Structure 1
Amino acid sequence: MPGALPYWRLSGFYFCYFALLGATAPFLALYFDYLEFSPARIGELIAITMLMRCVAPNVWGWLGDYTGRRLAIVRFGAVCTLISFAGIFISKSYAWLALVMALHAFFWHAVLPQFEVITLAHLREQAAKYSQIRLWGSIGFIVAVVGLGQLFEHLSLAAYPLAIVLIMAAICISSFWVPDAQPRHRPEFAGQGRFIEQLKRPQILGFYLSVSLMQLSNGPYYTFLSVHLEALGYARGAIGGFWALGVLAEIVLFMFMAQLLARFSLRRVLLASFLITAVRWVLLGNLADHVVVLIIAQLMHAATFGSFHAASIHFVQRSFGDRQQGQGQALYAALAGVGGALGALYSGYSWSTLGSSWTFTLASVAVLAGAAVIATCLKEERP
Structure 2
Amino acid sequence: MTTALPYWRLSGFYFFYFALLGATAPFFALYFDHLGFSAARIGELVAIPMLMRCVAPNLWGWLGDATGRRLAIVRLGALCTLASFALIFVSQSYAWLALVMALHAFFWHAVLPQFEVITLAHLRDQAARYSRLRLWGSIGFIVTVVGLGQLFERVSLDAYPWALILIMGGIVLGSLWVPNAQPAHREETAGHGGFLAQLRRPGVLAFYVCVALMQLSHGPYYTFISIHLEALGYERGLIGQLWALGVVAEILLFLVIPQLLVRCSLRQVLLASFLLAALRWLLLGNLADHLGVLLFAQVLHAATFGSFHVAAIHFVQRSFGARQQGQGQALYASLSGVGGALGALYSGYCWTALGPAWTFGLASLAALAAACVTAIRLKEEGP
In the superposition, the TM-score normalised over structure 1's length comes to 0.99
Distance in 2 (alpha carbons) for counterparts of 1:242 and 1:187: 44
Aligned to 2:152: 152
Aligned to 1:360: 360
Aligned to 2:181: 181
Aligned to 1:164: 164
Aligned to 2:7: 7
Contact between 2:26 and 2:145, CA under 8 Å: does it hold in 1?
yes
Q: Secondary structure at the match of 1:382?
A: coil
Aligned to 2:340: 340
Q: CA deviation at 1:19?
A: 0.1
Q: CA deviation at 1:347?
A: 0.1
Distance in 1 (alpha carbons) for counterparts of 2:283 and 2:153: 27
Q: Secondary structure at the match of 2:177?
A: coil
Distance in 2 (alpha carbons) for counterparts of 1:186 and 1:270: 24
Q: Give structure 2 stretches of 5+ with no counterpart.
A: none
Q: CA deviation at 1:202?
A: 3.5
Aligned to 1:58: 58
Distance in 1 (alpha carbons) for counterparts of 2:216 and 2:224: 14
Q: CA deviation at 1:197?
A: 2.0
Aligned to 1:115: 115
Q: Secondary structure at the match of 2:180?
A: coil
Q: Secondary structure at the match of 1:234?
A: coil
Distance in 1 (alpha carbons) for counterparts of 2:198 and 2:263: 28
Q: CA deviation at 1:199?
A: 1.5
Shifted more, 306-315 versus 191-200: the winner is 191-200
Distance in 2 (alpha carbons) for counterparts of 1:3 and 1:243: 37
Aligned to 1:69: 69
Give the letter for the 2:247 counterpart: V
Aligned to 1:254: 254
1:369 aligns with 2:369: yes
Deviations 1:132-188 (A, max 9, x none): 000000000000000000000000000000000000000000000000000001131
Q: CA deviation at 1:3?
A: 7.1
Distance in 1 (alpha carbons) for counterparts of 2:140 and 2:190: 38
Deviations 1:285-309 (A, max 9, x none): 0000000000000000000000000
Aligned to 1:208: 208
Give the letter for the 1:70 counterpart: R
Pair 199,35 (structure 1): closer, same or farther in 2 beyond 3 Å: same
1:95 aligns with 2:105: no
Give the letter for the 1:244 counterpart: A
Give the letter for the 1:317 counterpart: Q
Distance in 2 (alpha carbons) for counterparts of 1:352 and 1:17: 32
Q: CA deviation at 1:377?
A: 1.0
Distance in 2 (alpha carbons) for counterparts of 1:3 and 1:156: 48
Q: Secondary structure at the match of 2:361?
A: helix
Q: Secondary structure at the match of 1:324?
A: helix
Deviations 1:18-46 (A, max 9, x none): 00000000000000000000000000001
Q: CA deviation at 1:198?
A: 1.8
Give the letter for the 1:49 counterpart: P
Aligned to 1:243: 243
Distance in 2 (alpha carbons) for counterparts of 1:298 and 1:290: 12
Give the letter for the 1:372 counterpart: C
Distance in 2 (alpha carbons) for counterparts of 1:191 and 1:221: 37
- Which runs of at least 4 in structure 1 moved beyond 2 Å after TM superposition? none
Distance in 1 (alpha carbons) for counterparts of 2:324 and 2:377: 22
Q: Secondary structure at the match of 2:322?
A: coil
Contact between 2:190 and 2:318, CA under 8 Å: does it hold in 1?
no
Distance in 2 (alpha carbons) for counterparts of 1:9 and 1:251: 19
Q: CA deviation at 1:191?
A: 6.5
Q: Give structure 1 stretches of 5+ with no counterpart.
A: none
Aligned to 1:196: 196
Aligned to 2:278: 278
Distance in 2 (alpha carbons) for counterparts of 1:191 and 1:354: 47
Contact between 2:21 and 2:141, CA under 8 Å: does it hold in 1?
yes
Give the letter for the 2:135 counterpart: L
Correspondences of 1:23-62 after superposition (within 5 Å): 23-62=23-62
Distance in 1 (alpha carbons) for counterparts of 2:202 and 2:119: 28
Deviations 1:93-140 (A, max 9, x none): 000000000000000000000000000000000001100000000000
Aligned to 1:140: 140
Q: CA deviation at 1:189?
A: 5.8
1:293 aligns with 2:293: yes
State the identity as a percent. 75
Contact between 2:190 and 2:319, CA under 8 Å: does it hold in 1?
no
Q: CA deviation at 1:200?
A: 1.9
Q: CA deviation at 1:336?
A: 0.3
